[in-house]
Amino acid sequence: MKIGLLSSGAISEYRLQTLKPIFEDNNMSIKLVIVDDRPKKSIKQKIKKNFKRGRGGYMLIMAIKSILFQKKDSASLNIKDFCSDKNIDIIRTVKPYSDITISNIKKYDLDVLILIGGYGIIKPKLLNITKFGVLSYHHGNMRRYRGMPPAFWELYNNEKEIGITVQVLAEGLDCGIPITEKTIKINKKDSYSSIKRNLREISVDMMYTSLKKLSDSNFVPEKITTFGKVYTLPNLRQWLIFSTKLFLRKFL
C-alpha cells in the first residue's frame, strides 16, 4: 500500500506514534508528505476572531494556560527533518488544491492519504485523489458528537463514555465513513487532561488497523445513517460551567 501524508510544518509526538507500526510493515510504504504551507493565524488573530463569535474569553484562557503550563506531549518534529530521516519525498505548497499540486501528487499513484496536520476541512480535489480517500482521526462518536474540542462536550453533557474514530473523510465536518471505532469509559475521578491522554493512548494503533482493513478486499465499512450535532469551541460561560461540573463530579 502506497501512502501519502497531509501535514502542517511539524509533526507531533502522538502522530509519530500512530505512524510507527506503518513503518514496521513491509506491505506499507509512506511515499510522500504534502505540506500545507499556507499562512497560519497568530494566537492574537485567533482570539480576535473568536471574540467576534462570542468565544474569545475561552480562547484567551486557553492561550494563557498554554503559556503558563507547557505540556510535555506538545513536543513536535520539523516535517523536513522527519522526511529526511525517513527518506520520504516532500511537496510544500501554499496552493494545495492547484492543478500543479494535484498533478504532482497524482504522479505518486498513492492508494491513500492520511491527515496528520493542517488543511482544515479537506476539499474534494484531495478527498478523491486516491483509491481509498483520506483517513483522519476524530476523537468522538460521529453519531452524536462532531466538531471540537475533543472530550469537552461529552463531559459537559455528563456522558459516561467517549468514542474514538478513524474515518474516511467526506465533504463537510466529521461526516465520513468510520473504519475503526473504540469507546472509553468516563470515570468520576477523571480529569479533562487524563481523558484526553487516554484518548490518545488508546487510539495510537487505530490508524494502522484502519489501513489493514482497507487493504482487505473483503472489508465493507458500515456507513453512518444519522450524524450527530456539530460542536465548536465553547464561550466563557460554557467553559465556567464545564469547570464547575468537573470539580463537583469528584464529590457526587
What pLDDT does residue 233 have? 87
53-62, 64-73, 130-139, 160-169, range with the lowest pLDDT = 64-73
Residue 73 — pLDDT band, cuts 50, 70, 90? very low
- The CATH number, out of the four listed (3.40.50.170, 3.40.50.2000, 3.40.50.2300, 3.40.50.300), of the domain defined by the range 2-249: 3.40.50.170
What pLDDT does residue 251 have? 74
Q: Cα angle at 173 between 70 and 34, to 5 degrees?
A: 65
56 pLDDT higher than 70: no
72 pLDDT higher than 90: no
Contacts of 136 (CB under 8 A, 6+ apart): 114, 115, 122, 166, 167, 169, 176
Cis status, amide bond into 149, omega within 30 of 0: yes
In angstroms, the CA 98 to CA 118 distance is 17
Residue for cell digits 502522530?
15
User: For the chain, what percentages of helix, strand and coil (3-state, to nearest 5) are there?
Assistant: 40, 25, 40
DSSP E strand boundaries for 37-100? 76-78, 89-93
Q: Which one has a higher pLDDT value, 144 or 49?
A: 144
Tens-digit pLDDT profile for residues 3-54: 999 999 999 999 999 999 999 999 999 999 999 999 887 666 666 766 776 7
123-137, 157-171, 235-249, range with the lowest pLDDT = 235-249
Q: Distance between the two ends of the chain, CA-based, in angstroms?
A: 51
Supply the mean pLDDT for the chain.
Answer: 90
Q: Please name which of 233, 241, 231 lies closest in space to residue 54, comparing C-alpha atoms.
A: 233
What pLDDT does residue 71 have? 54
Residue for cell digits 520520504?
88
In angstroms, the CA 1 to CA 214 distance is 10
159 pLDDT higher than 90: yes
Instruction: State the average pLDDT over residues 210-221.
Output: 96
In angstroms, the CA 103 to CA 193 distance is 42
In angstroms, the CA 246 to CA 248 distance is 6
69 pLDDT higher than 90: no
Largest separation between any pair of C-alpha atoms in the chain: 59
Share of the chain above pLDDT 90, in %: 75
Contacts of 184 (CB under 8 A, 6+ apart): 161, 162, 164, 195, 198, 199, 202
Share of the chain above pLDDT 70, in %: 86
Instruction: State the average pLDDT over residues 60-83.
Output: 71
70 pLDDT higher than 60: no
Predicted TM-score of the model (pTM): 0.90
170 pLDDT higher than 90: yes
What pLDDT does residue 213 have? 98
Instruction: State the average pLDDT over residues 105-118.
Output: 97
Residue 77 — pLDDT band, cuts 50, 70, 90? very high
Q: Which three cell numbers stand for residue 230?
A: 456539530
Q: Please name which of 72, 68, 90 lies closest in space to residue 81, comparing C-alpha atoms.
A: 90
In angstroms, the CA 109 to CA 210 distance is 20
